[in-house]
Structure 1
Amino acid sequence: MELFDTATVLTRVMTSGVVMSIEKSDRELPGLERLLTKRTGRAHAVLVNSRSAAVHAALAGQGIGHGDTVSVPELSPKDAAFLAWLGVEVADEPGPAAFEHIALDAGRAHLLDEQARALRAPALVVDLTGLGFGPAAAVLTDDRTVWARAERLKIFGAYDLRTMWTQEESETDLIPGVQFNYRLSPLVAACARMALSQAVRPLTTGAPS
């Protein structure tokens, strides 16, 4: 990643006057959401500030919580520990995956499209932390209810931004018992978007035929 590219993006965000994700006029978070839905072929994206937050949102979006049992392929030790903290058990026998996951870094960002389209779970966790701009992740899904529940897990998520000034709830059945500070910074979102936009498949070289 060229240094001047990062500086340009940071300057754009800082001079916009919008550096917090609770601002209705923010353009960086929606921009990253659009890019991720386009690249993964999913209809909805929820942006959060860590992989653990994305795992939590992927489960909460499906109504999975304490006392439930899930199947997750290739679960990492950290994810397994977090599920245990949530009180969610992992099934001994394989079954339909509650979510699948992809971890990106600068060398693998170009593989997002290919990897995402090969996965079929109702929720896809994409860990963006490896891109190098701080903890960041997303949950991608085609199910609007999963998206809505996952979004409501965040304090000042999309739903809260609609109602924070009016104090009126339009969908009271989606209100979680507890909300978490899972909001992603527009600065991090802008840099992650830049990295994904610039990701290109490496050229292959070989002897001419």
Structure 2
Amino acid sequence: MELFDTATVLTRVLTSGVVMSIEKSDRELPGLERLLQKATGRSKAVLLNSRTGAIHAALAGQGIGHGDSVALPDVDAETSAFLAWLGVTVTSYDGPAAYDHIALDPTNADRLGALAAGATAPALVVDLTGLGFGPAAAVLTDDPKLWARAERLKIFGAYDLRTMWTQEEADADLVPGVQFNYRLSPLVAACARMALTQAARPAATSGAKQS
């Protein structure tokens, strides 16, 4: 990643005066959401501050929680431990999967669209941590109810951004049992967006043209 590009993004965010994800005037988070939606072909995106947060949101969005079982392929030890902490049991994989998972890094970020094309689960978890700007992830889906539940999980559970200061409940049926703060910062979102945008650009050629 070019240091000049990174410095430009950091300057833009820090001088905007918007460094928290609850600010209505923030443009970095919506920008990353739109980029991921376009790249994956999904209509809804939820941004979170960790891979485990995204896994939690993908499951909670489907009403999966403590005492439930899910089918998942190739679950690593870290994910297994987190699911056990949530009280979710992983069964032998015979489909359909509860969610699909893509871990992005500089070597495959340009192929996000192709990787997402093979995902068939209701939720797609995209881990952005490997891009190098800190823990970050997203849940992509076409299910409005899944999106709404996942979105609520990351904002202290009981209140959405419109009402968290007034403590007025907007949708009581979406309230999860435990509150979490899984919100992604605009600064990390801006850097991840920069990395994905650069990865999608055609590689520049150098040297003289051959006649």
Residue 168 (structure 1) shift: 2.5
> How high is the TM-score relative to the length of structure 2?
0.92
Instruction: Give the TM-score normalised by structure 1.
Output: 0.92
The ranges of structure 1 where at least 4 consecutive aligned residues each deviate by more than 3 angstroms after the TM superposition are 200-203
Contact 1:40 1:117 in 2 (8 A): yes
The aligned amino acid for 1:155 is I
Q: Percent identity between the aligned chains?
A: 76
User: What is the correspondence of 1:1-209 to structure 2 with a 5 Å cutoff?
Assistant: 1-155=1-155, 160-200=160-200
Measured against aligned partners, the alpha-carbon deviations of 1:130-151 in whole angstroms (never above 9, x if no partner) come to: 0000000000000000000001
Q: Within 1, Cα distance between the matches of 2:180 and 2:83?
A: 16
Report the AA paired with residue 48 of structure 1: L
Q: Distance in 2 between matches of 1:59 and 1:136?
A: 17
- Matches of 2:164 and 2:128, distance apart in 1: 29
Supply the distance in 2 between the matched residues of 1:82 and 1:156 (Cα, whole angstroms): 19
Contact map agreement 1:126 1:139 (CA 8 A) in 2: yes
2:21–2:186 contact (8 Å) kept in structure 1: yes
CA 184–166 in structure 1, closer or farther in 2 if over 3 Å, else same? same
Q: Where do 5+ consecutive residues of structure 1 fail to align?
A: 204-209
User: For residues 15 and 156 of structure 1, do their structure 2 counterparts lie closer, same or farther at Cα, with a shift above 3 Å needed?
Assistant: farther
SS in 2 for 1:161: coil
What one-letter code is carried by the residue in structure 2 that aligns with 1:162?
R
Unaligned runs of 5+ in 2: 204-211
Question: CA shift at 1:9, angstroms?
Answer: 0.3
Contact 1:152/1:179, CA 8 A, preserved across alignment: no
RMSD: 1.7
- Distance of 2:134 and 2:66 partners within structure 1: 29
Q: How far does residue 103 in structure 1 lie from its aligned partner after superposition?
A: 0.2
